[in-house]
Amino acid sequence: MSVKPFLDTNVIVYAFSSDDRRSEKAEALLQAGGVISVQVLNEFVSVCRRKLGRTWNEVVDALGVVNVLLGPPEPLTMELHEAAIGLARRLRFSIYDGLIVAAAQRAGCPILYSEDFRHGQVIEQLTIRNPFAE
């Protein structure tokens, strides 16, 4: 069980964004440590390339920093996929949001930092916090 928070993709993206008011808070969260999943890494790469216009070298360098600060991500498995489907059906989430919550729960994280869920929402033992609203 982890006492570290789970960091959603938007936190990682803002930590590597320039000219964004959320960057400083996101950088602090990243440096404090946490847990992510392979899905977060995949989404991060997609956003960096498509929306931020980063080169592959810049993306790979950023991934290296994330790896040093956070360590290995939670893997995507069939067990996680099935748990995510259950969450998505029960809570009317997208499959992608279900995967984020399922990964945070599997890692035993008490907090999920994200701006994509309702701030203060509790899902079993997981509490959602929007660090940019606080």
Render pLDDT for 47-93 as a digit per residue (tens, 0 to 9).
999 999 999 999 999 999 999 999 999 999 999 999 999 999 999 99
Alpha-carbon distance values, 4 to 23, 46, 114, 133 (Å) = 20, 25, 14, 20
How is residue 129 written in tokens? 């916090």
Rounded to an integer, what distance in angstroms lies between the CA atom of residue 73 and that of residue 2? 13
What's the confidence (pLDDT) of residue 131? 96
How is residue 62 written in tokens? 């950023």
| The Cα angle at residue 101 between residues 14 and 50, in degrees rounded to 5 | 35
What's the confidence (pLDDT) of residue 3? 87
Rounded to an integer, what distance in angstroms lies between the CA atom of residue 122 and that of residue 18? 32
Rounded to an integer, what distance in angstroms lies between the CA atom of residue 81 and that of residue 74? 12
Domain residue ranges in the chain? 6-129
Render pLDDT for 6-27 as a digit per residue (tens, 0 to 9).
999 999 999 999 888 999 999 9
For domain 6-129, say whether CATH 3.40.50.1010 is its number: yes
